Amino acid sequence: MTVRFAIEDTANIARRRGLPQILKAAAALLCAHWLSAAAARADAAADFYRGKAIQIVLGYGPGGGYDVYARLAARHLGKHMPGSPSVHVVNMPGAGSLRATNFLYATAPKDGLTLGAFARDMPLMGVLGGNAGAQFDPRKFIWLGSPSSSKNDVYLLFARKDAAVKNIAEAVAPGGPALVVAGTAEGAAGNDIAVLLREAIGLNVKIISGYPDSGAIYLAVDRAEVDGRFVGLSAAASSKPDWLRRDGPVKALLQFGRPERNPLFPDAPAARELARDPRARDMIALAELPWLLARPLAAPPGIPRERALALQQAFMAMQGDADYLREAARLGLDISPVGGAEALALIERLAAAPPELKEAMRKLQHPEK
């Protein structure tokens, strides 16, 4: 019998017997029990975290958008945690953050002192399958959420102004020159979105993989080793603001991650506008779902429940912290948070996508399988 039905049964007995005080007493006892249990969980978490340090294992090197968000969280999360632990970031770049994601799932201590920040595409990779290197189930992580749901953000294809390709019309023209873009590895947004758009809109793109992190990719574009890259607006605003100036070295050709154009870039179409057919549009829409979980933050499976709750509650409390919000605004970061339950629901949506659509995405990303 659930608590709700127990209360209702008690109320019915009270009305039949004319003893409303029974209901009042039962309600008071239940409330006292709940409050006592909540206080006990908070005390246990505070006792554990007091004097300790939480590490955020970040799947990229210093300087990129993920790094900026992770370090912002590290500066503010601890004061919302029971016991006020310190928080610091440990960079673990490799395979477009797949290395860090696998570490968090299988190797990281399950004590509530290790968190992971990784590419937004990792959940999609996990539910699609087909990548032998992906050794995790995203539905089993303890999700804190994401500070951004891309509400005010957008993923952009930037190209140097002196590149052979001058606009998106030239980039999708049959037989035209290829746009050379830099990426980290399979599974990272810059790589996988380029592959998807080659199929879905006819983007003539050549991907140079193997760059260790976002900072190295920025440098490759600045040195003209490549023509351009995919990167989020908020990441560029915090790490490369000169790219957003009218007289800057690059221009935005295309938008991704949202169904309509961000008004800051009226001349850069949204990817869905250029879809070749309804199937291609559906593939783009599926690939854009992870942008609702733009900067994922999670803990390993299996950590104690009271610590999981403390982490999740602290994460959401931080999203309303005035100091945190001021610093995010100064850095040009989008704060439109998604909580742990919403994050898990989003991943379930990815997993529930039509099998034929997931299979098409899987073959596109892993054509040899």
Q: What average pLDDT score do residues 124-138 get?
A: 93
Q: What average pLDDT score do residues 76-82 get?
A: 98
Q: What average pLDDT score do residues 193-200 get?
A: 96
Query: Please, what is the average pLDDT of the chain?
Result: 90
Give the list of residues 6+ apart from residue 148 with CB closer than 8 angstroms, or none: 69, 234, 294, 295, 333, 334, 335, 336, 337, 338
Give the list of residues 6+ apart from residue 33 with CB closer than 8 angstroms, or none: none
Q: What average pLDDT score do residues 55-78 get?
A: 96
What is the predicted pLDDT for the residue at 185?
83
Query: Of the ranges 155-169, 186-200, 221-235, which one carries the lowest mean pLDDT score?
Result: 186-200
pLDDT digits (tens, 9 = 90+) for 349-362: 999 999 999 999 99
Phi then psi for residue 86, to 5 deg, are -80, 160
Q: What average pLDDT score do residues 323-347 get?
A: 97
What is the predicted pLDDT for the residue at 303?
98
